[in-house]
Each structure stands twice: as C-alpha cells, then as structure tokens.
Amino acid sequence: MSRRRRVYEGKAKVLYEGPEPGTLVQHFKDDTTAFDATKREVIDGKGVLNNRISEYIFTKLNEIGVPTHFIRALNMREQLIREVEIIPVEVVVRNVAAGSLSKKLGIDEGTVLPRSIIEFYYKNDELHDPMVSEEHITAFGWATPQEIDDMMALALRINDFLTGLFLGIGIRLVDFKVEFGRLYEGEMVRVVLADEISPDCCRLWDTRTNDKLDKDRFRRDMGGLVEAYQEVARRLGVLVETEPKRRGPTLVK
C-alpha cells in the first residue's frame, strides 16, 4: 500500500492526486468552520452528506449543459474531479436578503430581492474574503472580462436550475456561493464550475416553516446541523442510510 499524495487541504475538503493525469480526488471532511475558521467543530457525518448532495447537484448540472469539474462518484466521501486552476473569486447569488447583505444594507432577512443579485468576493483568508467589483477583478488580473461574463452567465443558470430543484422539494434557495476554475484542454481553456454545492455554501429555508436547513444552524449555534442536511438529502432522494452512525446503546454479547 502506498500513501496518496495530498495536493491541497482546505477547511472542509482535501484534494489528492487522481488516478490519471489531470484528475484529482476530492475528499469531504466532517470539519465545520465559520467566521474565517475562528469557530470550528467536527460534525460526524457532515462530509458524507455534502459529498452526496454536491455529487447529485453537479451531475444534474452536467446534464443540462453546465460544464463542471465533476467526473464521477468514488465512495461515501470522495469524488473524482478534473484538475482546474481555481479563479480566486467567490461568486455569490442572492434571491432573498440574508446574512451579510441584510447586515450591510439594513434589509430585513427574508425580504425578496427585486431581482437576483450577483456579488464577487476575493478569495483570500488573510483579508477575510473582501467584497470586490468587476473593476478590481480585471485590474488585478484575477479574471478576464470574458471570464467574468462566463461566471455570471453560469451562476444565473445554476441559480435558475437550483431554485426550481429546491422549490420542488419545499425548500427556498435564499442565496449560495460558487467557485469556478479554468479547465485547460490542449489549446483551449474554459471556465467550469468547481468546488462544491452543498448546504455548507447555500442558504436553504423550508418553504412552509422557514426552518433553516443549512450552515447557519452552525454559525448561529442552533444545533441539528446533520439532521438538517439529512433532511435536504432525503428530499433530494439521495440520503445515505448507513451513515452517519447513530450513537446509542450497543448490544454486548
């Protein structure tokens, strides 16, 4: 047995060298962080749920022609992906006011926005991911104008698709964050969806009760995070029944 080469370790995922050149294995950990990782906890089973949910969403997006880095599922915690060069810009799409938008602009959480709004944040932990404009992105060379256009068009298609997908299972897609990468194919380079789409990076509210089914449960110390993610997976029809393990009395023989 030989140890796999770890290419990158982030807050919630690890990337390993893949079986063929140009591929990577994306591994979902149970680590949960918020507020620039000043709040952290290991929540049993979260990685398995995010892997399943993200794999399902990326597969559906591939089916409607949204290019992604996803190749195929490998196991409960891992997926095979194409190696891309991550564009250092987080793209947030908002449909309903919440979180930092509510705080910054004084708009009550839950207010439906006049139209979907796209925001950009520079991916830089030391600077706490500051919000930036297209001007900053192009002036500092983080992405070209064409790449910004591609990211915006893809983000809006993803938003339309996910809004419908979640509405169909009684969930309101309030907002979400996506990341894109450059995929090099010979002479060509194109922008594809990378990273993950899971309740870690979306706000998902039950349409009937307004219950939060996302990472705000962790950020706001509400508890019940795994149960909420399980509920999302169950409604999507992808719940893995064998994990997370139930803690309870064990039979001693």
Which one among 177, 180, 225, 226 touches ligand UDP, defined by CB under 6 A?
A: 177
Distance of CA 49 to the CA centre of its chain: 12
| Residue from 12, 154, 194, 202 binding ligand UDP (CB under 6 A) | 202
CA distance from start to end of the chain: 34
DSSP character for 125?
G
Find the helix or strand (DSSP H, E) in which 118 lies.
strand 112-122
Q: According to the binding rule CB under 6 A, does residue 193 interact with ligand UDP?
A: no
Residue located via tokens 């002036």:
139
The answer to whether 29 and 41 are in contact (CB under 8 A) is no
Q: What is the closest distance, in whole angstroms, from the C-beta atom of residue 37 to ligand UDP in the complex? A: 10
Per CB under 6 A, 176 contacts ligand UDP? yes
Q: Which residue is nearest to ligand UDP (CB)?
A: 99
SS3 147: helix
Q: Which stretch binds ligand UDP (CB under 6 A): 38-46, 80-88, 159-167, 170-178?
A: 170-178
Is the separation of the CB atoms in 30 and 218 below 8 Å? no
Site for ligand UDP contains 129 (CB under 6 A)? yes
**One of 13, 203, 212, 217 touching ligand UDP (CB under 6 A):** 203
- 120: contact with ligand UDP by CB under 6 A: no
Q: What share of the chain is helix, strand, coil (3-state, %, to 5)?
A: 30, 35, 35
For residues 66 to 95, the per-residue mask of contacts with ligand UDP, x marking binding by CB under 6 A and - elsewhere, is: --------------------------x---
Q: Which is nearer to ligand UDP, 172 or 203 (CB)?
A: 203
**Number of residues that make up the chain:** 253
Residues that bind ligand UDP (CB under 6 A): 92, 98-101, 129, 175-177, 201-203, 215
